Amino acid sequence: MLIEKFPHIGNRIDLLWGTVDLQDYLNTLIVDERSGRKGFPHLVAGAILRIHTEHYKLIKPKLKKNK
């Protein structure tokens, strides 16, 4: 559903997969830094959160090295 409704987000995830930049991008989707956003449909928001969690597990060792 994420790719179907928001193909630009799916493309960006594909492009950035495995990088710290994807975590940063997903964080901007999850955290409302611009007032007035209406948010994502429930299923899309859940998919973004699951991707964020799984991707974090993948890149966690990279994040520790950068500290």
Q: Give yes or no for residue 51 having a pLDDT over 80.
A: yes
DSSP for 3-64 reads HHH-HHHHHHHHHHTTSHHHHHHHHHHHS--STT-----HHHHHHHHHHHHHHHHHHHHHHH
Q: Give yes or no for residue 32 having a pLDDT over 90.
A: no
By residue range, what is the domain housing residue 51?
2-65
Domain count across the chain:
1
Q: Does residue 16 or residue 67 have the better pLDDT?
A: 16
pTM: 0.81
Stretch 23-49: mean pLDDT: 86
Stretch 41-51: mean pLDDT: 94
